Amino acid sequence: MNGFVYLKNVVTLELDAEKCNGCRMCTIVCPHAVFEIKNKRALIVNRDLCMECGACEKNCPENAISVRSGVGCAAGIINGILRGTEPTCDCSESGSSCC
Partner 1 sequence: MNTKFLTGTSIASVPQISTVWSVNDVLETIRVRWSIGRMNYKVETGLYAVGNPTEISPVFVTANFKLTFDHVRRALYGMDAWLLILDTKGINVWCAAGKGTFGTKELCRQIKLVELEKIVNHHKVIVPQLGAVGVSAHEVKADTGFSVIYGPVRAEDIPDFMDAGMKATKEMRAVHFSLWDRLKLIPVELAYGKIYLILVPAIFLILSGLNRKGYSVDLAYQDGLRSVLILLLAYITGCSLTPALLPWVPFRRFALKGLFTGLLVAILLFEFHFLGKGILEIISWFLMIGSVSSFLAMNFTGTSTFTSLSGVQKEMKTALPVQIAMAGTGVIVWIVSKFIVL
Contact between 83 and partner 1 by CB under 8 A: the answer reads no
Provide the minimum distance between the beta carbon of 60 and partner 1 in the complex, in angstroms, as a whole number: 9
Q: DSSP characters for 17-75?
A: TTT-----HHHHH-TT--EEEETTEEEES-GGG-----HHHHT-TT--EE-------HH
Contact between 66 and partner 1 by CB under 8 A: the answer reads no
Binding site for partner 1 (CB under 8 A): 1-8, 10-12, 25, 28-33, 49-55, 58-59, 61, 68-78, 87, 89-90, 96-99
